[in-house]
Amino acid sequence: MNFDQLKEQWNNEDGNVNIPDNIEQLKESRHPIEKIQKNMKKEFSMQILAIILIGFFPLLFGFPTSQYIIYYISYTMMVVISSYYLSGFYKFYKQTELYTGNTKNSLWKIYHELRLNMERYQSFSFLLLPHFLITIGLFIYDTLEQKGQDLSELTTTNQASLIIVVLIGTLLFVVSIVLWTKYIYGRHAKQLENILNQMDE
């Protein structure tokens, strides 16, 4: 029996009977779940498109064909990791579609799955970092090669600057992924958590 039927029965029995707060809270939980589904649907398409476009980076950056093998080995590893993550992402999306809001337990399950998928999302994003570092490395190497130089010819200052830039870039990448995850999914997870906490009171 769903909540609409339950509400109708209560209203038929006694016009003064109100729906208990916890049932209303379960109904309200549908709202953040719908937002999560909407975000996931957009992101799934964007991630697939991004993976396809990344495959064309050597052409866009004008990498010499001798570097293609290095780039595409890294790209293949990224695609394999992405496929594993995206399959889990899709399964969770289908799971949220099955949520009807009929029980508190099903809401708890969705909440815990969401938290788990947020961790997976961050881990997946961090695993993409080596590929991007390889891409940047190839770009720098190609730029130096066009000038008739190589990495060994960089001054100590330039080498130190390059290391610092890579460290700062990596840190910014990690922080941005954490903040993005909190922005796109964390606030909805917090809404679900608040509803569940109110139901326990």
Percent over 70 (pLDDT), the chain: 81
In one letter, which amino acid is 194?
Answer: N
Domain presence at residue 13:
no
29 domain-assigned? yes
Q: Exposed, middle or buried by CB within 10 Å (0-12, 13-18, 19+), for 16?
A: exposed
Would you say residue 9 lies in a domain? no
Nearest to 136 by CA among 160, 170, 104, 85: 170
CA 31, 32, 35, 36 torsion-angle sign: negative
Q: Is residue 18 part of a domain?
A: no
Of 80, 84, 170, the C-alpha closest to 132 is 170
Asked if residue 153 belongs to a domain, the reply is: yes
pLDDT computed for residue 13 by the predictor: 47
The beta-carbon contacts of 32-36 under 8 Å, at least 24 apart in sequence, are 32/188, 32/189, 32/191, 32/192, 33/96, 33/99, 33/110, 33/188, 33/192, 35/188, 36/96, 36/114, 36/185, 36/188
Q: How many structural domains is the chain composed of?
A: 1
User: How does pLDDT run across 32-73, given as a tens digit for each residue?
Assistant: 778 888 888 888 889 899 999 999 999 888 888 888 999 999
Domain with 73, as residue range(s), is 23-200
Encode pLDDT of 64-86 as tens digits: 888 899 999 999 999 999 999 99
138 domain residue, yes or no: yes
Q: Residue 132: inside a domain, yes or no? A: yes
- For residue 20, pLDDT beyond 50: no
Task: Evaluate whether residue 181 is within a structural domain.
Answer: yes
pTM over 0.75? The answer is no
Rounded Cα distance between 181 and 6, Å, is: 37
